[in-house]
């Protein structure tokens, strides 16, 4: 399954990692960060270490031989050179800035996480951190050339605003099957209630697809209209669900055991059939499922666009960025400004009066 796949990849990465990266992994896996996130971070560490070796910044041939004091003495100039190398590499591929900047920032965020751990969360034999100087504090992320307004305009076409989210679920429920062959309908009929419930939950809660995939049946409380999830960073959260989506979820729950032959040992909220037995549905399968339905309905989108849809509509209803941030499980409103540009019609009204 997906988790086991990532754990295998993680083992491969750790086999060629320095001891302090292995220690970092052990500490972060207990938070827990997801195996997918940890694997991504480990690949970014490897890429950085290999760059240090290829540029002859360290006189070793393998990342396992890079001493921790290399990181302690690393200069700002060196990391800036690495950032430039990442930018130059993406330019050679012909990718535009709007796509490459998040990729480069993920690399820098991964390194920031490692340096923060080594300078703040570790203890040597004297109870002190392994080293004090965190060079990543001096490294800024790559700023996008797009304004919020531009990003919002590009994103708006892929959101299900107005009644489109309702229409989308109605489409899956009553019209999608007309686009299928007779052989395809067999599996559609089997999974229809589940697929409707997943789409409804994403639209009604703004959960990340990984949070939905990792949720267990006992996390869901349809009486209170809430679901318990583990957020990024391992924090537990109880998330309200929009009432209009609850009937779709209830219908799936009523038939879950019957459709997937689930037993009391099958704790996953959303199930699939794997080798004839009930199995937790994985996040990548949910992404493919959303793409399948949305591409026929309107335009191919990801579960993250359903999250954006909920956030945008919630802001439109409340004009409260903090409430939106809380719904999404974010610790600040720094990431919610986008929704004010997607929904805010005051600027347009002002122009109309001119």
Q: Where are the beta strands (DSSP E) in 66-127?
A: none
Kindly list the domain boundaries of the chain, sorted by start residue: 2-145, 154-349
Token pair, residue 142, equals: 């790559």
Residues in the chain: 354
Long-range contact list for 23-27, CB < 8 A, 24+ apart? 23/122, 24/114, 24/117, 24/118, 27/117, 27/121
Per-position pLDDT tens, the chain of length 354: 567 788 899 999 999 999 999 999 999 987 767 788 899 999 999 999 999 999 999 999 999 999 999 999 999 999 999 999 998 876 555 454 444 677 889 999 999 999 999 999 999 999 999 999 999 999 988 876 555 566 666 667 788 988 999 999 999 999 999 999 999 999 999 999 999 999 999 999 999 999 999 999 999 999 999 999 988 767 899 999 999 999 999 999 999 999 999 999 999 999 999 888 999 999 989 999 999 999 999 989 999 999 999 999 998 888 888 999 999 998 776 666 667 666 655 445 554 554
Q: What are phi and psi of 73, to 5 degrees?
A: -100, 5
Q: What predicted TM-score, i.e. pTM, was given to this entire model?
A: 0.68
**219-252: per-residue pLDDT in tens?**
999 999 999 998 876 789 999 999 999 999 999 9
Whole-angstrom distance, CA of residue 63 vs CA of residue 66:
5
Pairing of strands 220-221, 236-240: unpaired
Confidence at residue 342, expressed as pLDDT on a 0 to 100 scale:
67
Closest CA to 78 of 106, 51, 110, 113: 51
Whole-angstrom distance, CA of residue 231 vs CA of residue 282:
17
Q: Where are the beta strands (DSSP E) in 217-299?
A: 220-221, 226-230, 236-240, 271-274, 277-280
Whole-angstrom distance, CA of residue 311 vs CA of residue 165:
13
Pairing of strands 271-274, 277-280: antiparallel
Topology given in CATH for the domain delimited by 154-349:
hpI Integrase; Chain A (1.10.443)
Whole-angstrom distance, CA of residue 239 vs CA of residue 224:
10
Confidence at residue 154, expressed as pLDDT on a 0 to 100 scale:
65
The CA distances from residue 66 to 12, 71, 108, 113, in Å, are 18, 9, 19, 18
Q: What are phi and psi of 268, to 5 degrees?
A: -60, 140
| Secondary structure of residue 221 in the 3-state scheme | strand
Cβ-based neighbours of 256, under 8 Å, separated by 6 or more? 194, 217, 262, 271
């Amino acid at each position: 399954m997906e988790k086991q796949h990532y754990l295998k990849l993680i083992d491969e990465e750790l086999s060629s990692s320095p001891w302090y990266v292995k220690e970092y992994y052990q500490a972060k896996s207990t938070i827990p960060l997801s195996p997918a996130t940890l694997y991504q971070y480990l690949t970014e560490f490897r890429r950085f270490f290999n760059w240090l070796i290829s540029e002859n910044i360290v006189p070793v041939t393998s990342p396992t031989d890079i001493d921790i004091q290399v990181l302690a003495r690393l200069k700002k100039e060196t990391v800036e050179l690495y950032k430039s190398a990442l930018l130059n590499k993406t330019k050679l591929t012909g990718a535009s800035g709007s796509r490459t900047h998040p990729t480069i920032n993920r690399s820098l965020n991964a390194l920031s996480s490692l340096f923060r751990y080594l300078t703040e969360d570790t203890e040597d034999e004297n109870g002190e951190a392994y080293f004090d100087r965190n060079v990543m504090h001096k490294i800024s992320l790559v700023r996008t050339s797009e304004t919020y307004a531009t990003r919002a305009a590009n994103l708006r076409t892929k959101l299900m605003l107005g009644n489109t989210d309702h229409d989308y679920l109605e489409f899956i429920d009553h019209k999608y099957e007309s686009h299928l062959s007779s052989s395809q309908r067999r599996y559609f009929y089997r999974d229809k209630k589940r697929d409707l419930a997943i789409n409804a939950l994403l639209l009604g809660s703004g959960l990340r697809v990984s949070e939905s995939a990792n949720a267990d049946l006992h996390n869901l409380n349809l009486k209170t209209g809430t679901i318990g999830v583990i957020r990024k960073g391992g924090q537990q959260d109880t998330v309200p669900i929009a009432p209009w989506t609850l009937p779709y979820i209830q219908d799936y729950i009523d038939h879950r055991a019957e459709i997937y032959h689930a037993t009391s040992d099958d704790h996953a909220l959303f199930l699939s059939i794997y080798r004839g037995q009930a199995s937790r549905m994985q996040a990548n399968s949910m992404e493919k499922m959303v793409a399948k339905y949305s591409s026929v309905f309107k335009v191919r989108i990801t579960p993250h666009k359903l999250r954006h849809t909920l956030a945008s509509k919630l802001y439109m209803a409340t004009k409260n960025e903090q409430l939106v941030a809380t719904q999404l499980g974010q610790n600040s409103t720094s990431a919610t400004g986008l929704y004010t540009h997607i929904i805010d019609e005051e600027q347009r009204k002002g122009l109309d009066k001119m």
